[in-house]
Amino acid sequence: MLAFLVVGCLATVPAHAVVSGVQITEGKDRVSIAVDGELLTELRFEGAPKPYLYPLMGPGGVALTRNYPMRADAADEDKDHPHHRSLWFTHGDVNGVDFWAEGPNKGKVIQTKVLEARGGDESGTVRTANRWVTPEGKTLLTDVTAVQVHRSPLGRMFDYEIALTASEGMDLTFGDTKEGTMAVRLAESMRLKANKHYAGKPTGRILQDTGVKDGDTWGKRASWTAYTGPVNGQPMSVVIFDHPSNPRYPTWWHVRDYGLFAANPFGVHDFEKKPAGAGNLVVKAGDTVRFRYRFLLLAGDVNAAQLGALSTEFGKAPAK
């Protein structure tokens, strides 16, 4: 197999060469990730209040996330929720600061360093250091985020791991709110409820490992959730797996009929109608809390038994 790592520039590959493996290219404002020579995604860390992965390309080069707000020229897209940037991790209440929404009174996640950008024959890793900053410019906490991409016969697969540290000498409270956390905003044609552009056309569907489907999946706990819908006339699927080591496994899901798709382990008040604050998670000063998720991008419908086996395999995988 031929695999290469490019840092800072593009590699020259002979026209007849067959490119395989995971290729990672580090640029000024992004890190690009390709699998077998085809773009999977880019980690973008400039020009927005948080790092995010965009575009998100499934098998065959099919774009699986909405273009807005990165691009506003797609005629088929609703222009709601400008903070839904393709694929990202933030939360709506950390010591009272909102990192989920965007605006002058909201928190920001600032990438400070690319710690690792390494390709390989069967996998590749991008690892970064980040600061979570209040509207006043004060660092509230830090994190180390790793995106590890795997070559898989099933489709495009990667793990997203984040270690959040109470690094500033104070306790952290991740507050009880539905506005979070490990999230993706899917392509408009995949929505469970069509927008006006796709009215009357086939729509998406949602399935959880528990057998719960479609609109009933919001606020439910499950070890994985799959969102399937048409893109350019063919069915495509995005699956997110929760890891057994995560706090409060299996997580609750903030999954909406308009294409928002998020794992949220904190929003107990909203999801289960328990007293406000029931879902608060406190991280003591100096301590670290870790979350791990696996993403699988598929061409076609999902097979529940196959996803169950992959969920078990993910549960045994060592952390990055």
Residue at 295: amino acid letter: F
115 contacts 256 by C-beta, under 8 angstroms? no
Q: How far apart are CA 230 and CA 210, in angstroms?
A: 23
Percent of the chain surpassing pLDDT 70: 94
Please state, rounded to an integer, the average pLDDT across all residues of the chain.
94
Question: Among candidates 266, 264, 285, 283, which has minimal Cα distance to 274?
Answer: 266
* pLDDT at 318 (0 to 100): 75
Q: Considering the domain boundaries, does residue 46 fall inside one?
A: no
- DSSP tag of 15: T
- 11 falls within a domain: no
Q: Is residue 33 part of a domain?
A: no
Inter-residue contact 178 to 264 (CB < 8 Å): yes
The pLDDT, as a whole number, for residue 251 is: 98
Q: Does the residue 165 lie in any domain? A: yes
Domain that holds residue 123: 51-316
Whether the predicted pLDDT of 5 surpasses 60? no
- Structurally, the chain folds into a number of domains equal to 1
**Predicted confidence (pLDDT) per residue in 115-160, tens digit:** 999 999 999 999 999 999 999 999 999 999 999 999 999 999 999 9
pLDDT tens digits, 218-274: 999 999 999 999 999 999 999 999 999 999 999 999 999 999 999 999 999 999 999
User: For residue 17, what pLDDT is reported?
Assistant: 56
Q: Is residue 174 part of a domain?
A: yes
Spell 51-72 as b/e; 16+ CB within 10 A means b: bbbbbbbbbeebbbbbbbbbee
Alpha-carbon distance of 40 to 59, in angstroms, equals 9
Contact 74, 41 (CB under 8 A): no
Residue 123 CA to chain centroid, in angstroms? Answer: 18
Is 282 a domain residue?
yes
Residue 2 in domain: no
Whether 38 is covered by a domain: the verdict is no
